Amino acid sequence: MSKLTLKTEGDRHVVGTRRFNALPEAVYRAHIEPDLIQQWMLGPEGWSMPVCINDPRPGGKFRYEWTNEERGGFHITGEFVELVPFSRIVHIERMHLPDPTPDNHVVTTFEKSGSGTLMTLRMTLPDAASRAAMLATGMEYGMEASYARLDALA
Amino acid sequence: MSNLDAAFSAMADPTRRGILARLTLGEATVMELAEPFAMTQPAISRHLKVLEGAGLIVRRVEGTKRPCRLAPSAFVEIDQWLDTLRQALTKNYDRLDDLLAGMNAKKRKARR
């Protein structure tokens, strides 16, 4: 199992890779089946996803809502652009805080690699400022570890 | 680091994000920045003051104008923000490892 790599690319992209010890079919399903998504797409400790609605077909919409006892909640909405079972998902998403953040265009690919899967995540934001805003708002919401680090520095 | 909180609140506003986006294209005057927004120049000036206070933009004096551009340090904090996203995704994918292991075990059982 390899660790996550995550880096910025150019002015508008964030690119990540991660290997999983399961076939592409299983990793792909875990990205589109709500009962599976709700078990892992939770971010830092303390958050749950009570609402996970999606319509995984081109043009289909989704809405995921997260909640945290201390910090309240937020949600994202988006649309699927392209779905190629079990190798590729293209979607667009935005966070509502409650103002929507700029659209994040995300391409996720799943490649068979040995007995497992190499997943590549490629996010594209409209411009450099939007990418900074996306990363900053991500930090603002529920990133306990970072706040603790910030407190330690203060 | 002291600018981090100010940078967050500065970025939280869609008009200010729009201003930053415009400034990625290069220097601009208040008049040029006000154009795409349905806002008066004083309103835009107030937004610029917030961005300047957060260290995201710098302004210079040119006659009566004070053109703005992105501060070189504006996106230095990106690395730190990226690290936070990395931590959140790491948690997600560690959970997904466990879930996939469970799915696999179930499948093996069903096949038996």
Provide the domain limits for residue B90. Answer: 77-112
Question: CA A134, CA A132: separation in Å to the nearest integer?
Answer: 5
Chain B environment of A42 (Cβ under 8 Å): 91-92, 95
B41 shares a domain with B65: yes
Q: Which of A40-44, A61-65, B100-104 has the highest mean pLDDT?
A: A61-65
Name which of A13, A41, A68, A95 to mutate to probe chain B: the one with the most chain B Cβ atoms within 10 A of its Cβ. A41
Task: Single out the residue of B56, B91, B52 nearest to residue B74, CA to CA.
Answer: B56
Per-residue pLDDT reduced to its tens digit, A84-120:
999 999 999 998 876 777 899 999 999 999 999 999 9
**8 A C-beta contact, residue A26 and residue B102:** no
Domains, chain A, with CATH or none: 5-153 (3.30.530.20)
> What does pTM read for this prediction?
0.73
What's the gap in Å between the CA of B95 and the closest CA on chain A?
5
**8 A C-beta contact, residue A32 and residue A55:** no
ipTM of the complex, rounded to two decimals: 0.85
Closest residue to B84, CB basis, from A16, A27, A139: A139
B65 shares a domain with B87: no
B60 shares a domain with B38: yes
